Amino acid sequence: MEYNIPRGTYDILPEASPARQALYARFLRLAEAFGYHEITTPVFEQAALFERSSGESSDVVQKEMYRFNDRKGRVFALRPEGTAPVVRSYLENRLDLKGENKLCYWGPMFRYDRPQAGRYRQFYQYGIEFIGSDHPYWDAEVISFLWVFFQSLGLKELRLELNSVGCPDCAATYETALRDYYRPHLDQLCPDCLKRFELKPRRLLDCKVPSCKAFAKDAPSQLDYLDQSCAEHFEQVKAFLNLMNVPFTINPGIVRGLDYYTNTAFELIYEGIGAQNSLAGGGRYNGLIEQMGGKSTPAIGFAGGIERLLLALEAEGISLADSPGPDLYVIAMGVEARDFIVHLINELRAGGISVVYDPEKTSFKAQLKAANSSRARFAAIIGEDELAAGQVMLKNLETGQQQAVKADALLQFLG
């Protein structure tokens, strides 16, 4: 074959679709229960939307973004994440005036990173954004949404890691402390970390190079540099989480890969699916909306990756949905019943019943075999007698029970 799928992408084959659809359906159902409404934004946006909002210093934006010029030379990017587009849409469509401040979404995101298990160049995220309040209750509610979602799927080996990265003021004090700590060791840091030291020192804590990691271990913690109001906010988030029965561990190393975070930051970790073990992550972004031209509006949200979630479900042997068989397999037995069958099938399909019929199969044995391997719930056997009586012999393929059903009653029976 001459063509190959792009590296880091994959086809969602029919056999894999039902489980994904089941995940989206469950996510959307839970979102509804929490009062969220679905929003869908384009897969490409002005590149500047991400460059200015998500990341002057973030790898996701600086190194991994698919950036391109359109035919008129405008600079666009395939979206690497969903938060900035949702905020753009919230502002552009004045959703504040419509009271639409709980938004959920799912869809493909794009990052040019080195592909590996659980890391793709096109991957699928589901996420929620709560816009409009700084009250710690909302932080806990967003986190508990995530927790309840994973609990409802039956996953066990989960760890919710929580941190506060503070407001810009405490972040600045902390970054000074971090620079003081790292300065004597600059000659031992990797080239990326030297840039991080200048641009966004807290990212030094996230470096995967072993020699750099060793320094991160003893680095000062942001939690010791929170001002009183940020520390209080964090305490209250923890208190609400306890009230909501959401277990968490504090990890001051959670720095997040995008630039807009303030205060609460969290990740849901699942051990046992390799290095890419963050199933979902999020946090507050109280400055983003103002930065994008709106009035100062606090917000918080999270997003998770479908691929990693599917890997985790597989690791725990949880299957959400098998490819469903059709409702009915029509077997014509030695009769010239073309009109009757075509009419019946049309009526059933229009009524929402899934039907399989293959006019090219004529032997009863071959048709019954095909009906069984299609995993249909029922077979409708139509022989001379049935045709004459305007009915079908309906066979339950699981129990083997048979009963005659009038053709015009079949839709109601199967529905």
**Binding characters for ligand HAM, 338-377, by CB under 6 A (x = yes):** ----------------------------------------
CA 129 to each of CA 97, 100, 233, 355, 386: distance values in angstroms, whole numbers, following the listed order: 17, 11, 19, 41, 58
Answer for which of 149, 305, 333, 355 binds ligand HAM (CB under 6 A) is 305
Q: Where does this chain touch ligand HAM (CB under 6 A) — which range of 81-89, 196-204, 334-342, 391-399?
A: 81-89
- Tokens (6 digits) for 114: 């080195």
Q: Does 281 bind ligand HAM (CB under 6 A)?
A: yes
- The Cα 126–Cα 24 span in angstroms is 8
Q: Does 113 bind ligand HAM (CB under 6 A)?
A: yes
Q: Where does this chain touch ligand HAM (CB under 6 A) — which range of 116-124, 153-161, 171-179, 382-390?
A: 116-124
Q: Does 111 bind ligand HAM (CB under 6 A)?
A: yes
| Cα atoms in the 13 Å half-sphere on the side-chain side of 255 | 21
Residue-wise DSSP of 224-239: GG--HHHHHHHHHHHH
* Coil vs helix vs strand at 398: coil
- The Cα 228–Cα 35 span in angstroms is 32
Q: Does 78 bind ligand HAM (CB under 6 A)?
A: no
Q: Does 23 bind ligand HAM (CB under 6 A)?
A: no
- The Cα 370–Cα 215 span in angstroms is 64
Answer for which of 280, 332, 337, 379 binds ligand HAM (CB under 6 A) is 280
Backbone angles phi, psi at 58, to 5 degrees: -95, 135
Q: How far is the CB of 328 from ligand HAM (least distance, A)?
A: 39
Count residues near ligand HAM (CB under 6 A): 29
Which helix (H) or strand (E) is 52 found in, with range?
Answer: helix 47-53
Q: Does 379 bind ligand HAM (CB under 6 A)?
A: no
Answer for which of 161, 259, 307, 386 binds ligand HAM (CB under 6 A) is 307
Q: Does 298 bind ligand HAM (CB under 6 A)?
A: no
- The Cα 68–Cα 405 span in angstroms is 61
Q: Does 101 bind ligand HAM (CB under 6 A)?
A: no
- Tokens (6 digits) for 360: 């090219």
Answer for which of 136, 257, 287, 325 binds ligand HAM (CB under 6 A) is 257
Q: Does 287 bind ligand HAM (CB under 6 A)?
A: no
Identify how many contiguous H helices and E strands the chain contains and give both numbers.
15, 16
- The Cα 206–Cα 204 span in angstroms is 5
**CB nearer ligand HAM, residue 281 or residue 325:** 281
Q: Hey, which residues between 120 and 139 contact ligand HAM (CB under 6 A)?
A: 120, 123, 125, 127, 129
* Radius of gyration, alpha carbons of the chain: 28
- The Cα 278–Cα 280 span in angstroms is 6
Cα angle 413, 414, 415 (rounded to 5 degrees) comes to 95
Answer for which of 83, 164, 251, 367 binds ligand HAM (CB under 6 A) is 83
**Binding characters for ligand HAM, 225-254, by CB under 6 A (x = yes):** ------------------------------
- The Cα 164–Cα 263 span in angstroms is 5
Q: Does 279 bind ligand HAM (CB under 6 A)?
A: yes
Q: Where does this chain touch ligand HAM (CB under 6 A) — which range of 16-24, 113-121, 165-173, 342-350?
A: 113-121
Backbone angles phi, psi at 162, to 5 degrees: -125, 145
Asked if 285 and 129 count as a contact pair (C-beta separation under 8 A), the reply is: no
Closest among 276, 332, 331 to 304, alpha carbons compared: 276
Answer for which of 26, 37, 52, 119 binds ligand HAM (CB under 6 A) is 119
Q: How far is the CB of 42 from ligand HAM (least distance, A)?
A: 16
Q: Which residues bind ligand HAM (CB under 6 A)?
A: 60, 81-83, 111, 113, 118-120, 123, 125, 127, 129, 257-258, 278-283, 285, 301-305, 307-308
